[in-house]
Structure 1
Amino acid sequence: MRSIGELARDSGLGVSALRFYDRTGVLVPARVDPVSGYRWYGSAQLEEARLLARLRRAGMPLADVRLVLAGWSGTDGDLVRELLQAHLRRLEADLSDARVEFSTLQGLLARRENTMTPSRITIRLTTSARALAAALDAVRFAAGTDPELPMLGGVLFDFEGETLHVVATDRYRMAVARAETTGHGGPPAQVIVPAPLVDAMRALLNREGPVRLDVDGDRATLETGDGQASGRCLDHAFPDYRRLVHLPTGSRALVDATTFRTALENGPVRTSEAREHGAASHDLSVLKVAHDGSVVICDDGDDDQNHIAVNREFLLDALAAAGGDQVILEFGVPTAPIAIRLPGDQATFSILMPVRLDH
C-alpha cells in the first residue's frame, strides 16, 4: 500500500489533486483509515495515477478520463484507443481554429500598428536618489526572465506629469511603485529599461541628493554624482498595467511582516503540479483569513475551497520588496490576485496570481 504522499511523489499528481479525484470518484483509494481518514492506495493504482496525470496534462476532459481509466482497468483496448483518438481529433480541430483566430488577430494588429506612428521620446527630469532606489527595489523582483516574452524582461518607466511609475511583471506577479520628479513637462511617455540596465542604475543610487534621468529616443541614461549608467531600452510594448491592478474587493489583513515571513518559511507547504510544458513544480502556501483578522497558513488536511494558494517563494519575495515592519494583505475570491501593500501607501504594491489546488 502507498500513502497519499507516496503516490503523489511517484505519480506526478499533487496531494490536493489526488483528494479531488477521490471526491469526484475518478481515482478512489483502496482503503481509508476510519479513524484518521488517511488515504491508502494499492500498488496497481500507481499505474492508473500516472495514466491520469498524463491524460490531464493532455487536456482530456474529466468525463473522458473516467472512461479511459475504466477501459484501462478492464483491458478494453478498443475503448481506450477510440477515446484517445477522439480527444486527439478535438485537439487538432481546436488548434486549427486557434490558428485561424491568431492569423486574424495578427492582421488586425498589423493594420493597427500601421496607423500609429509614435513620436521620438525626449525626457529630461530630476528625482531623488532615495526615491528612485526605493521604487526600483519595490518592483525589481517581479521582472520576467522568459526569453519568449522579451517585453517583460525589464522595468517599465511610465512618465506622466511629475510622476514616474515603475512597473515589472512576469505574468504571475506584478509590482508597481512611484517616485516624484521635477522637470518633465511633456506628454505621457513609456520606455522599458532592460533588467541589466536597471541593476546598473540601482548600483549608483546608494547616495543622497538629486539624480538626473534622461531618455532620448531608445536610450535611457541615469546620471549621479558617482557616475553614469546608460543603455538602450527594449524595443517592445508593455502591457497596459493599469487594467491589471483593479482587484475585486474582499478581506484586508494587517500582519507583522517578520512574524508572517517566519511562519511562511517554517509552515506547511503543498507542491503544485507543473501545468505548463516545461514548467517546474513549486511550493505553495495555502492562506486563509481567520475570524480575528489574522492570516493563517493552512495545513495539508485543510481543503476549504475558499482558501487561497500562492507560490511561497513569490510571496516571500514580495514581502522582502515591501520592506516595512507591517504589511496589508488584500484577498478577493480564491481565483483573484492577492495584493501586498504598505500601510498608508496606495501607490506602491505588488500582486500575486493564485494557484489552483485542484484541476
Structure 2
Amino acid sequence: MRSIGEMARDGGLSVSALRFYDRAGVLVPAWVDPVSGYRWYEPEQLEESRLLARLRRAGMPLADIRLVLAAWSGMDTVLVRGLLQAHLRRLELGLSDARREFSTLRALLDHRENPMTSPRTATARLSVPAPELAAALDAVRFAAGTDAELPMLGGILFDIEGEGLHLVATDRYRMAVAQARTTGHGGSRVQAIVPLPLADAMRALLNGEESVQLAVDGDRVTLETGDRQTAGQSLGHDFPDYRRLVHLPAGHRAHVDTAAFREALETGPVRASETRKHDGEPHELSVLRVTENGTVILCDDGDDDQNNVAVNREFLLHALAAGARDELVLELGAPTAPLAIRRPDDEDSFSMLMPVRLEN
C-alpha cells in the first residue's frame, strides 16, 4: 500500500488535495490508521489519482468527476466517454459565448472613447501628513495584484478629489481602501496608478512627522520629503471604479480582539477550497459565522449552517495585520457577499474579501 506522501508524489495530487478529496468522498483511502489517522492507498488507486488530477486540470466539476471515477473503476467506458465529451462540449460552448460577449464589449469600449481630459492626464500638487500617507500605504499594500494579464491591478490607485486622498488596491479577490487628509489641491478629480516598486520607495521615505509633497503631472508621480525625493511613471491603464464596489448590503457586525482572533484563525479548523493556487494546492479556508450574541466563531468541518461565510484564511490574516488596530469590526452578510474588515475609528479605511463557495 502507498502512504499519502507516496501517493502525492506519484499521483499528481498534493497531500492537502488528497485530504480534500477524501473528505469529499471522491478518492477515499483504502485504510486509515485508527490511532494516527494516517491514510494508506491501494496500488490501483494510483491510476485513479492521476485520472483525477487530469480531470481537475481540465476544469471538470466535482460531481462529474465522481461519476467518471465510478465508471472508470467499473470499466464502463461508454459512460466515461460520454461524460468527457459532454464536458468538452460545455467548454467549447462557454468559450464561444465568451468570445461573442468580449467582441461586444470591445465595441462598447470603442464607443466610450472620450477626447476630453481624463483624471489620469490631469495634474495635482498637494501636501499630505507623512504618518497618514504611511498608514494608508500599509493598509492597502497587501491587496495589490500580481497577475501580468491585469497590469492595472499591479499598483496602488492614488485617487485625489477635493481635500481627500484615497489609496486603493485590489487583486479581484480582495480589495483595500484607505484615506489620508490633504491640503493644497481642492480641485477636480485626479488619479494615478502608482506601481508597487514606486509605492514601496515612497513608503521608505515616510519616517517623519511632517507633511510631504505629492505631485501628479500626467503620467509622472513625485513624492518629496525634506531633501529627499522619489519619482516615477504611473501605470498607463484605467483602474476599476472602486466606488461602485464598496456599497455592500447591511450585514452582521461584530467587534473582534485582533490578536485573539488571529490566534484562533492560525490554530482553528480549516477547509480546502476547490479553487487552486498557482502551485496547484487548494486554498485553506476559514469558515465564519456571527452568533446571536454578536461574536464571530470559526465553524468546524461538519458545520453547514446556511449563514456560514468562507474566506481565504491567508487573505484574512493579511487583512487583520493591515488593519493595524487592537480591535477591528467584521461585517458578514450573505455567504455570497464580501466580508468587510473595518477600523472602529475610521469607517472609510477598510478591506474586503470575496467569499469562497463551499462544496456540499
- Shared fold (TM-score greater than 0.5)? yes
1-structure distance, mates of 2:156, 2:241: 13
**Counterpart in the other structure of 1:282:** 283
Q: What secondary structure sits across from 2:178 in the alignment?
A: strand
Q: Residue 85 in 1 paired to residue 85 in 2? A: yes
Per-residue CA deviation, residues 231-261 of structure 1 (Å, 9 max, x unaligned), is: 1100000001011111222211101111111
Moved more, 302-311 or 173-182: 302-311
**Counterpart in the other structure of 2:106:** 106
**Counterpart in the other structure of 2:226:** 225
Q: CA deviation at 1:67?
A: 4.6
Q: CA deviation at 1:184?
A: 0.8
Q: CA deviation at 1:202?
A: 1.0
Question: Which amino acid letter does the alignment assign opposite residue 105 of structure 1?
Answer: L
**Counterpart in the other structure of 2:207:** 206
**Counterpart in the other structure of 2:76:** 76
8 Å Cα contact 1:57-1:275 kept in structure 2: no
Question: Which amino acid letter does the alignment assign opposite residue 72 of structure 2?
Answer: W
Per-residue CA deviation, residues 44-91 of structure 1 (Å, 9 max, x unaligned), is: 566556545543553445665455344323212233223322332332
Identity rate of aligned residues, in percent? 68
**Counterpart in the other structure of 1:344:** 345
**Counterpart in the other structure of 1:239:** 240
**Counterpart in the other structure of 2:301:** 300
Question: Which amino acid letter does the alignment assign opposite residue 285 of structure 2?
Answer: L
Moved more, 246-255 or 289-298: 289-298
2-structure distance, mates of 1:172, 1:215: 28
2-structure distance, mates of 1:95, 1:269: 34
Aligned-pair Cα RMSD in Å: 3.3
1:5-154 matches, within 5 Å, as 13=17, 15=19, 18-20=22-24, 22=25, 43=42, 47-48=47-48, 51-52=51-52, 54-60=54-60, 64-65=64-65, 67-113=67-113, 118=118, 120-154=121-155
Q: CA deviation at 1:270?
A: 2.7
8 Å Cα contact 2:319-2:351 kept in structure 1: yes
2-structure distance, mates of 1:8, 1:269: 20
Q: Residue 271 in 1 paired to residue 272 in 2? A: yes
Question: Which amino acid letter does the alignment assign opposite residue 152 of structure 2?
Answer: M
8 Å Cα contact 2:3-2:41 kept in structure 1: no
8 Å Cα contact 1:151-1:238 kept in structure 2: yes
Q: What secondary structure sits across from 1:93 in the alignment?
A: helix
Per-residue CA deviation, residues 149-187 of structure 1 (Å, 9 max, x unaligned), is: 110111101111111111011111110011111111321
**Counterpart in the other structure of 1:35:** none
Q: What secondary structure sits across from 2:199 in the alignment?
A: helix
8 Å Cα contact 1:220-1:233 kept in structure 2: yes
TM (norm. structure 2) is 0.85
1-structure distance, mates of 2:18, 2:346: 38
8 Å Cα contact 1:337-1:351 kept in structure 2: yes
Moved more, 266-275 or 237-246: 266-275
**Counterpart in the other structure of 2:166:** 165
1:305-344 matches, within 5 Å, as 305-344=306-345
Paired residues, what number?
353
Q: What secondary structure sits across from 1:317 in the alignment?
A: helix
TM (norm. structure 1) is 0.85
Q: Residue 181 in 1 paired to residue 169 in 2? A: no
8 Å Cα contact 2:7-2:41 kept in structure 1: no
Q: What secondary structure sits across from 2:113 in the alignment?
A: helix
Moved more, 72-81 or 187-196: 72-81
1-structure distance, mates of 2:356, 2:5: 20
8 Å Cα contact 2:251-2:333 kept in structure 1: yes
* Unaligned ranges ≥5, structure 2: none
Question: Which amino acid letter does the alignment assign opposite residue 174 of structure 2?
Answer: R
* Unaligned ranges ≥5, structure 1: 33-37
Per-residue CA deviation, residues 95-142 of structure 1 (Å, 9 max, x unaligned), is: 123222212222221232255553731101112111111111111111
8 Å Cα contact 2:4-2:41 kept in structure 1: no
